[in-house]
């Protein structure tokens, strides 16, 4: 049964009032492009922000969504509960949500951003996101999934709500460069921040941090797309962690200069992943601040997220791997911020930030 969305019912049901000092939006990454139709806007990202009435935390959170999603992934769950954005505002963070160029409120048109991917399908999302337990042949951890707020199959109203927010993506390298430009401009405007990414937003986070390392106080990568050098259809992480150039030391002029070797799987239920061949180049702009990679117990990324962690450590980053099952949180899939226990996971992330003791100056 879906909850009532009538104003009086929503008002009566609110237990934890949201007190804001300000709320609004602005655009970043705006370019002008010549098209067959005339001069059009290109590369823009939409930023929505929430400033709590009581600003308790020294640094804002910038939330970057994944795949074909948008910032609504952080605004609410598909069964109508408040999302991570509101959880963190209530903890006293200023929160900025960036719709990556070409997604959500940042429209995509082939004349501006190039060819678009096919749309996401119910069948794919059900198999890998909302009902993987019905497909245990895909990966060992699928059978553990139990946190989606509905049946997770066609006909599930919660799945309808999630699907309605999905859209096509641009080519990987183009997407990463546009997100880097928009994210760097966002940080230039708001100052230092904690950057949180999800899934296909993960490489965009590495790109933004590479462009503005002094404006990153911490980086939380929730199941970042990988592992290093991954190839998923036309999407290839040719630069190790990204599909567009990263800064390496010693420098590389071409991604072909990055030599790789396969590292064995670290534990049962995981797979071998690539790291750099030794001597490994450093990633100097992904150093100087704490990084955490967060992995859910029942996600397909439980099999290979360790590869991202290994790659970052080898390149000199201060990174840790936070597995939710080690925190007593079980049964989550890849879209953990949308699932039944989403607040429990947000609390773990908030506690991780608190442990970093990030100075306010």
pLDDT at 141: 96
Structure confidence by residue, pLDDT tens digits, 273-293: 999 999 999 999 999 999 999
Q: Quick one: how far is CA 140 from the chain centroid?
A: 23
> What's the rounded Cα separation, in Å, for the pair 21 and 215?
24
List the domain range (segments joined by +) for residue 124: 16-356
For the record, the structure tokens of 58 come out as 């020294």
Closest CA to 192 of 207, 208, 214: 214
Decide if 43 contacts 95 (C-beta within 8 A). no
Give me the chain's average pLDDT, please. Answer: 94
Residue 3 lies in a domain: no
Closest CA to 27 of 104, 103, 108, 99: 99
Closest CA to 102 of 201, 218, 223, 212: 201
| Span 238-260, average pLDDT | 96
Residue 7 binned pLDDT confidence (cut-offs 50, 70, 90): confident
Residue 200 lies in a domain: yes
Residue 10 lies in a domain: no
| Span 203-208, average pLDDT | 98
Angular region, 86: left φ>0, alpha ψ -120 to 50, beta rest: alpha
pLDDT at 116: 82
Angular region, 29: left φ>0, alpha ψ -120 to 50, beta rest: left
Residue 126 belongs to domain with CATH number: 3.40.50.1820
Q: What percent of the chain has pLDDT over 70?
A: 99
| Span 70-81, average pLDDT | 95
pLDDT at 1: 58
User: What is the count of structural domains for the chain?
Assistant: 1
Residue 5 lies in a domain: no
Angular region, 155: left φ>0, alpha ψ -120 to 50, beta rest: left
> What's the rounded Cα separation, in Å, for the pair 273 and 266?
10
Alpha-carbon distances, residue 91 vs 187, 247, 353 (angstroms): 21, 35, 12
> What's the rounded Cα separation, in Å, for the pair 245 and 64?
20
Q: Could you list the active site residues?
A: 199
pLDDT at 359: 78
Q: Which residue has the tokens 């804001």?
A: 20
pLDDT at 86: 97
pLDDT at 113: 83
Report the run of H or E that residue 96 belongs to, with start and end. Answer: strand 95-99
**Which burial class, exposed, middle or buried, applies to 154 when counting CB atoms under 10 A from its CB (0-12, 13-18, 19+)?**
middle
Q: How many distinct helices (H) and strands (E) make up the chain? A: 10, 14
| Span 54-81, average pLDDT | 94
> What's the rounded Cα separation, in Å, for the pair 212 and 233?
30
186/2: higher pLDDT: 186
Residue 291 lies in a domain: yes
**HSE (side-chain half, CA atoms, 13 Å) at 360:** 5
Report the run of H or E that residue 216 belongs to, with start and end. Answer: strand 216-222
pLDDT exceeds cutoff 80 at 339: yes
Structure confidence by residue, pLDDT tens digits, 170-182: 888 889 999 999 9
pLDDT at 3: 76
pLDDT at 32: 93
Spatial neighbors of 118 by CB under 8 A, at least 6 apart, are 168
Q: Quick one: how far is CA 341 from the chain centroid?
A: 18
Residue 178 lies in a domain: yes
Residue 361 lies in a domain: no
Residue 25 lies in a domain: yes
pLDDT exceeds cutoff 70 at 361: no
Structure confidence by residue, pLDDT tens digits, 98-142: 999 988 898 888 887 888 888 889 999 999 999 999 999 999 999
Range with the poorest average pLDDT among 7-21, 91-105, 156-170: 7-21
pLDDT at 169: 82
| Span 156-167, average pLDDT | 93
Q: Quick one: how far is CA 261 from the chain centroid?
A: 27
């Amino acid at each position: 049964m879906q909850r009532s969305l009538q104003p009086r019912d929503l008002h009566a049901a609110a237990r934890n009032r949201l007190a804001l000092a300000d709320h609004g939006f602005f655009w970043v990454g705006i370019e002008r492009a010549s098209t067959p139709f005339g001069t059009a806007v290109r590369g823009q990202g939409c930023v929505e922000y929430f400033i709590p009435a009581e600003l308790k935390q020294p640094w804002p959170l910038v939330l970057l969504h994944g795949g074909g999603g948008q910032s609504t992934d952080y605004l609410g769950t598909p069964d109508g509960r408040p999302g991570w954005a509101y959880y963190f505002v209530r903890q006293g963070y200023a929160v900025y949500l960036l719709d990556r160029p070409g997604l959500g409120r940042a429209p995509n048109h082939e004349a501006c951003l190039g060819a678009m991917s096919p749309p996401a399908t119910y069948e794919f999302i059900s198999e890998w996101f909302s009902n993987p337990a019905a497909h245990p042949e895909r990966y060992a951890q699928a059978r553990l999934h139990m946190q989606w707020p509905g049946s997770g199959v066609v006909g599930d109203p919660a799945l309808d709500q999630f699907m309605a927010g999905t859209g096509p993506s641009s080519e990987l390298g183009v997407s990463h460069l546009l997100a880097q430009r928009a994210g760097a401009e966002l940080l230039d405007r708001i100052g230092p921040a904690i950057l949180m990414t999800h899934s296909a937003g993960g490489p965009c986070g590495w790109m933004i941090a590479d462009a503005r390392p002094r404006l990153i106080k911490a980086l939380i990568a929730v199941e970042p797309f990988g592992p290093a050098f991954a190839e998923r259809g036309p999407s290839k992480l040719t630069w190790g962690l990204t599909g567009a150039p990263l800064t390496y030391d010693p420098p590389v002029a071409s991604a072909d200069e990055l030599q790789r070797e396969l590292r064995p799987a670290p534990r049962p239920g995981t797979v071998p992943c690539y790291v750099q061949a030794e001597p490994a180049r450093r990633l100097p702009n992904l150093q100087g601040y704490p990084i955490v990679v967060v992995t859910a117990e029942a996600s397909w990324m439980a099999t290979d997220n360790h590869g991202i962690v290994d790659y970052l450590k080898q390149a000199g980053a201060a990174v840790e791997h936070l597995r939710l099952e080690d925190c007593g949180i079980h049964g989550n899939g890849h879209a953990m911020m949308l699932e039944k226990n989403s607040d429990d996971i947000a609390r773990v992330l908030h506690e991780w930030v608190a442990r970093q003791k990030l100075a306010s100056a």
